[in-house]
Amino acid sequence: MEWTAMEINPEVGKTIMSKLGVSGHWRFVDILGLEGEQLTAVPKPSCALMLLFPLTQQHEAFRIQQANKVTGGSDVYFLKQVASNSCGTIALVHAIANNKAKMTFENGSVLKTFLDETAGMSPDERSKHLEGNKPEGEQVNFHFIAFVNVNGQLYEFDGKMNGPVNHGATKDETFVTDAAKVCRSFMEREKDEVRFSAVALCQS
């Protein structure tokens, strides 16, 4: 079962959010770099960050080590990835679902309906509920994850894991910087790899 891979592109993100019935004053912006002045250029407030990176042997080995760091609670919405290439969609759902109170949804919003229907489900049950829509696509070897500030904690949402990973305390003012620090650690593990991209979900 494969989905069409999602681009990491603010315009694509805007289009998808519109199709899902998410309205209001939130938009995706490119993050041109993960340090210093490049981060200060990201508009505030920012409520989520999405990172795209290549799947490598180093990353897979690191993920195995992180299995015991999975956490979460009733305030954290987590969705497991089952279908290939659906990581971009799932990262977007994680970004919106864990900022649900900040979002405005149109009447009949597909995403709002999905979130309401799956609110009391387990991550596995949510995945099965999502499987109904699965357009075919070419397999790609890149992966999306999302970072969100949930009640003052920086959570990493990776649908390939069994739950979110808590990276410690954060706040609205430092969220992008805190999330970027974790993203840099991904880059540092891949010494000769430069194919990393990131976008932030910001209020316009």
Of 90, 79, 100, 111, nearest in space to 6 by CA: 90
**Active-site position among 47, 94, 143, 202:** 143
**Active-site position among 87, 94, 183, 202:** 87
Distances (CA, A) of 121 to 67, 99, 151: 21, 18, 21
Whether the CB-CB separation of 4 and 137 falls below 8 Å is answered with yes
Note if the bond before 45 is cis, omega within 30 degrees.
yes
* 87 part of the active site: yes
Show the tokens assigned to 108: 């009949």
* 143 part of the active site: yes
Would you name the residues annotated as active-site residues?
A: 87, 143
